[in-house]
Structure 1
């Protein structure tokens, strides 16, 4: 069923003034000929309340979710898809008459970007972080049958089915792996010019996937370039997950990759 005109969508996150999501979704609306708006639902706090969610759901037909709310949003949803539930994180919410339904389109964004960027067998990986983005990355790696997965955290706890290490322990082990994945905001505009790991550890990695997309080249990616290590940022992942979210909100089967190719040059 087609959505009415002049509907509103948005992205919920903390201090996300840097986000490219409005530009991306507006480009999608333009290509599809849809009259719609896309806002930043920008919080300065780290917690959510029922009142927050009630206000959002009365203004928007759907919204994306980013740091630090991908896990925190889940208790407020009326339904979560099986895939998102398995991952333990939601990045896309559709507002329906029966309530709020949570999805995870980061999965397809990350997986397609990963498979297009690196063509060697990935048998081992390091995932920096244990939040919603890290959980999604681990789900993809497991589905790709990656045998050894290290997850790295500054806090207690880890991700089931991985070897969880502190940053100090990781640096001491300095393992050589096929892929390093930065699923933290380190290197983004809030943490500009910071490195999540040491140069010595980076030199041991065969490839780097930094989910940060602003700036285009984080300090981690700049150093990887200097060291001639294959690398990718999170821009294509962002594009793919955004178009996949549109397919959910609009209840239309969209050609995701064709749309990504069409809007990509306009959104950098």
Structure 2
């Protein structure tokens, strides 16, 4: 029997997750089928009430539900319990269990690119679920410091109480101090192809990491490359977190 799994989000038709997963399942002879579940919040709530483990093994969660989904889960595993954001759900004995594989995907992506962030000063753009996972990963990787830039400074301060420096994303100054800037917002993806910040006054070895992967080169990455900077998109992180989710689901099949 082929069980189902998939990505839950809104405005996600551009996602390449089905290809990543289904190619992996076919290659490794795993009886799973990965689909897209594009739904609004009310549909999501009703959907979670009726899912069962006889048909589904679990789901990935993306924008805009990585944080709100927690209210409808029965249990959180580490590090989701600390991060307070979930991007993977497994189903076991009727319970919906929340995991965070973004944390692992980000760390493994840095390993892939051979980037050692120890003692880096990092600026994170955004304050959602992905930003939370990335900030926890960076702390565990012993970065020197982290600044968070968002639109609602008061909200960001509430969400990131362990971060000393919270900045208005429209008023970023002294960019020269940063070793890496990570875009954790959807700004720049195929649904919103704008650049989140202007790059100016930076150091020559600044690394720009945009978690968006569609388009392959966002306007932020194009600007970074045009200015001679190392520019990375989120494709490898997406793949690494996907394989971690597959490992979790395989434990339950």
| Same fold, TM-score > 0.5, yes or no | yes
1:122–1:179 Cα contact (<8 Å) kept: no
Match in the other structure for 1:105: 101
Q: Evaluate the alpha carbon distance shift between residue 11 and residue 201 of structure 1 in structure 2; reply closer, same or farther with a 3 A threshold.
A: farther
Q: CA deviation at 1:173?
A: 4.0
Match in the other structure for 1:25: 21
Match in the other structure for 1:127: 124
Q: CA deviation at 1:231?
A: 1.9
User: Structure 1: which 5+ runs fail to align?
Assistant: 253-268
Q: CA deviation at 1:187?
A: 0.6
1:177–1:204 Cα contact (<8 Å) kept: no
Match in the other structure for 1:243: 243
Alignment pair present for 1:54 and 2:49: yes
What SS class does the counterpart of residue 80 from structure 2 fall into? helix
Structure 2 CA distance for aligned equivalents of residues 244 and 100 of structure 1:
17
Q: 1:196-211 maps to which residues of 2 (within 5 A)?
A: 196-200=196-200, 206-211=206-211
Structure 2 CA distance for aligned equivalents of residues 202 and 15 of structure 1:
34
- Equivalent position to 2:6, from 7, 10, 15: 10
Q: CA deviation at 1:32?
A: 1.2
Provide Cα deviations, 1:134-173, integer angstroms capped at 9, x if missing partner: 0001001110111211101112322122211112332x44
What SS class does the counterpart of residue 168 from structure 1 fall into? coil
User: Structure 2: which 5+ runs fail to align?
Assistant: none
Match in the other structure for 2:226: 226
Structure 2 CA distance for aligned equivalents of residues 11 and 39 of structure 1:
6
1:8–1:36 Cα contact (<8 Å) kept: yes
What SS class does the counterpart of residue 11 from structure 1 fall into? strand
Match in the other structure for 2:155: 157
Q: Evaluate the alpha carbon distance shift between residue 197 and residue 74 of structure 1 in structure 2; reply closer, same or farther with a 3 A threshold.
A: same
Alignment pair present for 1:180 and 2:181: yes
Q: Evaluate the alpha carbon distance shift between residue 40 and residue 148 of structure 1 in structure 2; reply closer, same or farther with a 3 A threshold.
A: same
Structure 2 CA distance for aligned equivalents of residues 47 and 207 of structure 1:
39
Structure 2 CA distance for aligned equivalents of residues 112 and 169 of structure 1:
31
Match in the other structure for 1:212: 212
How many residues are treated as equivalent by the alignment? 245
Q: Evaluate the alpha carbon distance shift between residue 200 and residue 135 of structure 1 in structure 2; reply closer, same or farther with a 3 A threshold.
A: same
Q: With the length of structure 2 as denominator, give the TM-score of the two structures.
A: 0.90
Q: With the length of structure 1 as denominator, give the TM-score of the two structures.
A: 0.85
Match in the other structure for 2:133: 136
Q: Evaluate the alpha carbon distance shift between residue 146 and residue 39 of structure 1 in structure 2; reply closer, same or farther with a 3 A threshold.
A: same
